[in-house]
Amino acid sequence: MKTVDLRSDTVTQPTAAMRAAMMAAPLGDDVFGDDPTVNALQDRIAAITGKEAALFMPSGTQSNLCGILAHCGRGDEYIVGQLAHTYRHEGGGAAVFGSVQPQPLTQDAQGRMALADIAAAIKPDDPHFARTRLLCLENTWNGHEMPDDYLRGATQLARENGLTTHLDGARVFNAAVASAAPGQAAFERLREIVDPFDSLSVCFSKGLGAPVGSALCGSRELIDRARRVRKMAGGGLRQAGLLAACALHALDHHVDRLCEDHANARRLADGLGGIEGLAVRSAETNIVFVDVSEGRGPALLDFLKAYGVLATGLMGLRLVTHLDVDAAGIDRTIAAVRRFFAEAPAALTASGRLGPY
């Protein structure tokens, strides 16, 4: 029985065609700047995002770190959501490596910081304060696609106050595919979304299905500064064209198909919707969040595992669709969840019995 792995869209295996592209890639030494496949990828993603230049990175975390450190110096600060990846899930890297202080702000259920809160957090030029330098946003955030008017309003506010702007776009391809107008190309929609930002990171190893890789995109000057940081962070790779070839393949073949992941997430949310004992909290793009009653989340995760379905969560479940999950896998997941609530005795799985994890 094939495992249905809904823990993350990072778990995908490279397809046979992607492996073939990898084997065929011409290679050089990228620290000397002469890996033709890396250079082709960087030119391609810069053109796709409408930025001057791009830099291939081993991970999204490193893209964001190099981006923040290219925007900010020691004693500067960046405004960021309390639950944003660039604040909460990157080990405090900007503070650790760059002496750049985060100024985290509360987000609403869709991941937005209030513009008034952003304005209030921008410090005057006064030696008491860190220098507020950068605004970081994220799209998609927990699957939520950020509305254009919010992205434009927040970046405009930042610019009016002399701040630069960075978008954590690990899943921005999902946002582009989900919000493209009928007949509009995904890449054209992507450029509209990222246009107001000075820089952005994108991930190739999430929904796009590459094994490794991310890119930072921005002005040539910013990218030159980021290249220094990348070297210091140990991210200067040599025959990285092996990895860049997978990312190029993904850009050619795995962008438009993201709508299948979104349809599968919708199918999952609809199927779970009628089951007593849980509630679908949100289901947008390729991520479904489910609240589970009476602290039964951990027991449900264990039960699903026995049925070959993997997910993550504490109070509830997070289920992520991707190119290695098909509609049959979604239906198996729905059936297993239904069985759990129909069969598993609540008394044995009540809060505390299995402990939180």
Ligand X SMILES: *Cc1c(COP(=O)(O)O)cnc(C)c1O
Binding residues vs ligand X (CB under 6 A): 59-61, 64, 85, 138, 168, 170, 203, 205-206, 214
The CB-of-83 to ligand X minimum distance in angstroms stands at 10
User: What single-letter DSSP state applies at residue 314?
Assistant: S
Q: Of 235 and 298, which CB lies nearer to ligand X in the complex structure?
A: 235
Q: Of 85 and 131, which CB lies nearer to ligand X in the complex structure?
A: 85
The CB-of-242 to ligand X minimum distance in angstroms stands at 17
**Pick from 16, 17, 25, 13: which is nearest to 245 by CA?**
25
What are the contacts of 231-236 at 24+ separation with CB within 8 A?
A: 231/31, 232/97, 233/62, 233/65, 233/66, 233/97, 235/57, 235/58, 235/62, 235/66, 236/30, 236/31
Q: Of 64 and 164, which CB lies nearer to ligand X in the complex structure?
A: 64
Sheet holding 316-320, edge to edge: 278-284, 287-292, 316-320
Q: Closest-CB residue for ligand X?
A: 60
The CB-of-167 to ligand X minimum distance in angstroms stands at 10
Q: Of 60 and 211, which CB lies nearer to ligand X in the complex structure?
A: 60
Q: Of 105 and 300, which CB lies nearer to ligand X in the complex structure?
A: 105
Chain centre to alpha carbon of residue 146: 13
The alpha-helical segments, DSSP class H, found in 170-318 are 172-179, 186-194, 220-232, 241-253, 258-273, 297-306
The CB-of-250 to ligand X minimum distance in angstroms stands at 14
The CB-of-63 to ligand X minimum distance in angstroms stands at 7
Q: Of 77 and 138, which CB lies nearer to ligand X in the complex structure?
A: 138
Q: Of 3 and 10, which CB lies nearer to ligand X in the complex structure?
A: 10
Q: Is 173 exposed, middle or buried (0-12, 13-18, 19+ CB in 10 A)?
A: buried
**Cα–Cα distance between 184 and 136 in angstroms, integer?**
27
Q: Other C-beta atoms within 10 Å of 189: how many?
A: 18
The CB-of-227 to ligand X minimum distance in angstroms stands at 18
The CB-of-85 to ligand X minimum distance in angstroms stands at 3
**Cα–Cα distance between 106 and 83 in angstroms, integer?**
8
